[in-house]
Amino acid sequence: MQDWNYLHTNCFEVTIELGCVKYPKAEELPKYWAQNRRSLLQFMKQVHRGVWGFVLDAVDGRGILNATISVADINHPVTTYR
């Protein structure tokens, strides 16, 4: 689903696997949190990096619907929706 969401909706998803057990027991979750808390929080802070902003009409300053944004050497244009 991650690939489909990225390619068709520009929604980025991440799966983080912390071990070999798909569904650890509830009593083991605090251990996973303690071992990975700092790393996970640092990872979450990365949401503020990258390119972001608004695509505005130069004349009236309104948002441009369906504007396509492309980055050189990346074959995945992004389209605005508002």
Q: What angle do CA 45, 80, 60 make, to 5 degrees?
A: 110
Cβ neighbours of residue 19 under 8 Å, at least 6 residues apart? 32
Instruction: Read off the pTM.
Output: 0.57
27 is catalytic: no
DSSP state of 64: P
Catalytic residue among 13, 17, 27, 28: 17
Question: Do 61 and 70 touch, CB atoms closer than 8 A?
Answer: no
Q: What is the pLDDT along the chain (82 residues), one digit of tens a residue?
A: 678 887 787 777 888 888 899 999 999 999 999 999 999 999 999 988 887 889 999 999 999 999 999 989 988 888 887 6
